[in-house]
Amino acid sequence: MQTVQAETITAPFATTSVSPEDILQQLVRQQKTRKKWLIVQPMSTTSMMVDSSSVSMPLNLIMVATVAGRLFDITFIDERIGDRIPDDLSPFDVVAVTSRSLNASKAYAIGDAALRQGKIVLLGGVHPTMLHQEAGEHCTSVIYGEIESIWTELATDILQGTMKPLYRALELKPMSDMHRPDFSYALASKRSKKYSSRIPILATKGCPVGCNFCTTPTIYGKNYRYRELDLVLDEMRYHQERLGKKSANFSFMDDNISFRPKYFLTLLEEMSKLGIHWNANISMNFLDKPEVAELAGRSGCDLLSIGFETLNPETIKSVHKGSNKIGNYEKVVNNLHQNGIAIQGYFMFGFDNDTEESFQLTYDFIMKNRIEFPVFSLVTPFPGTPYFDEMKPRIRHFDWDKYDTYHYMFEPTGMSGETLLKNFVKLQQEVYKGRAIMKRMQGKPFNWVWLANFMMNRFTNRLSPEIYM
Ligand code: B12
Ligand code: SF4
């Protein structure tokens, strides 16, 4: 399969000076009826509860619908909230499906069914991007990375009926060119009440930190882009107005919102004037400064998701996570807690340097520092990452349904798989015991984080090592 470049578009009309955008606009004007797109967020078939309870509105597909909806008619299906894909796809011209690894097998099945009915099938998202040859077997075209950067070429080919197997932009568009996501596509479903009330929003894209287990550096390289602040703030004000309340809840979908400190601090300063609440994924590199945590608290931040990953400095070095300084962990936690910010802390197990002692160390850290919402996962080498290439000979299975970070992928060198899983289950059960929850949560605001702890208490009681196989 070859990489197709934006320059390969030829002008089907008279002049030589027409731009690809002009060609597209001419084709749009010639459209007798608008083509019909079915856009699908598949439900994963993984055995774990990753798509259960309340799920967030899928910003990725909302962006796809926003871009495509300017030229085409859109039907939006999110299987996670119970929307069903019709068996008969005859009303549609294009079936566009997003996929991560954990729902790739489902996305491929949808693609195969749509191909059998003669539809143009598009597969996008991180898994098809990383494995475009594999994904190409189940669709007409794979979209590499974000739709915005390749849209003119893709839309032109759909209108001309000249599809290529792969669409990959030569360069990424500035984020200021991106449209404000139109949430009406997701909210049109009568089941939209199942979505979390947090509104997904994007200020930046990319993360040059370069952890070897993460797909972001592979897709976006060293690139870090951001939207002009006014665009982000206007979008927030728009939602405040739409909801008729100042205290709207936002959830940043950014890979690493704090990578450019100056941009991030100005964003915080401006958000503090809005009266909103927000949460985000963040790397901890400058949260050790009390004034940053203070400003984050003042700007309405109520929770930050931080990848602590491990308490072993050797492992941090081996995965190239330069933003994590283990000596700073406690300082970061204290700074956030002093400003009323709860922590969703991510911890991974199964690294070669892990030993039985790693579990006790992590337990002690979580309990001592009263981490509100610890999330434990098993190290998962995702296709397309340097870690995947390194670990490939040792990986036990390539069944993508198991690539949800809750399955046992390879035997670490420091302990047997059996010991790993036994301790992994025990740690989760200990951290989510009633008494442990009280110790971590007492005195903290009674909100959804408490609820998440109660759910985790029930969930972890049912865990056993076999589930992770
Ligand atoms: C925010 C985020 C989350 C949020 C919200 C997820 C959600 N509901 O969307 C939360 C915290 C809930 C989450 C959870 C998890 N996440 Co996450 N998450 C992300 C993150 C940082 C950003 C995703 C995002 O919304 N970006 C903004 C949107 C606008 O951009 P986009 O997704 O890239 O979409 C664009 C393109 O991909 C393209 N596109 C996408 N789909 C399609 C489809 C078509 C047809 C077309 C044409 C184009 C197209 O156009 C879109 C618009 O520009 C990504 C990293 C990343 N950059 O992808 C990881 C990432 C997706 N997560 C990952 C993982 C592993 C998880 C968890 C398993 C972690 C865990 N242990 O709990 C869970 C699984 C949840 C689930 N059921 O899917 C991995 C997935 C790896 C893989 N190969 O599958 C990623 C890639 C990070 C990594 N480690 O590399 N995540
Ligand atoms: S800091 Fe987070 S987003 Fe950045 S490369 Fe590492 S895991 Fe990926």
> Ligand 2 centroid to 159 CA: how many Å?
38
Domain match, 220 and 161 both: no
Please state the domain count of the chain.
Answer: 2
pLDDT tens, residue by residue, 61-111: 999 999 999 999 999 999 999 999 999 999 999 999 999 999 999 999 999
Domain closes at, from 168, 183, 211? 168
> Ligand 2 centroid to 391 CA: how many Å?
19
What letters, b where the CB count within 10 A reaches 16 and e where it falls short, cover 383-400? bbbbbbeebeeeeeeeeb
Classify residue 396: in a domain, yes or no: yes
Token readout for 455 is 């759910």
Classify residue 189: in a domain, yes or no: no
pLDDT at 3: 36
Cα angle value 213/218/219 (rounded, 5°): 125
Is residue 209 in contact with ligand 2, taking CB distance under 6 Å? yes
pLDDT at 4: 37
CATH number for the domain harbouring residue 108: 3.40.50.280
Classify residue 366: in a domain, yes or no: yes
Closest to 78 measured CA to CA, from 100, 56, 63: 56
Mutation to probe ligand 1, out of 52, 53, 60 (largest number of atoms < 8 A from CB): 60
Q: Which listed ligand is nearest to 324 at the C-alpha?
A: 2
DSSP secondary structure, 382-435, as one string = -TTSHHHHHHGGG-S---GGG-SS-S--S--TTS-HHHHHHHHHHHHHHHTSHH
pLDDT at 211: 87
**Distance between CA 267 and CA 377 in Å, rounded?**
31
CATH number for the domain harbouring residue 339: 3.80.30.20
pLDDT at 145: 94
**What is the pTM assigned to this prediction?**
0.94
pLDDT at 51: 65
Token readout for 272 is 């503090």
Q: Which listed ligand is nearest to 57 at the C-alpha?
A: 1
pLDDT at 155: 98
Domain match, 163 and 218 both: no
pLDDT at 1: 33
Domain match, 134 and 262 both: no
Cα angle value 372/373/378 (rounded, 5°): 140
pLDDT at 208: 86
Domain match, 260 and 306 both: yes
Classify residue 39: in a domain, yes or no: yes
Domain match, 391 and 321 both: yes
Classify residue 175: in a domain, yes or no: no
Domain match, 266 and 405 both: yes
Domain closes at, from 153, 168, 183? 168
- Backbone angles phi and psi of 36, in degrees to 5: -110, 130
pLDDT at 209: 84
Domain match, 155 and 251 both: no
Classify residue 270: in a domain, yes or no: yes
Domain match, 263 and 318 both: yes
Element (H or E) spanning 234, and its range?
Answer: helix 229-243
Domain match, 347 and 419 both: yes
pLDDT at 315: 87
CA 260 to chain centre: 20
CA 30 to chain centre: 37
> Ligand 1 centroid to 62 CA: how many Å?
13
Domain with 241 in it: 197-468
**Distance between CA 28 and CA 91 in Å, rounded?**
20
Classify residue 174: in a domain, yes or no: no
Pick out the chain residues at pLDDT < 50: 1-11, 13-14
Domain match, 316 and 412 both: yes
Domain match, 10 and 140 both: yes
pLDDT at 177: 85
Classify residue 372: in a domain, yes or no: yes
Domain match, 14 and 125 both: yes
- Which ligand 1 atom is at minimum distance from the Cα of 44? 77
H helices of 95-223, in order, are 104-116, 126-130, 132-136, 151-160, 184-187, 216-220
pLDDT at 146: 95
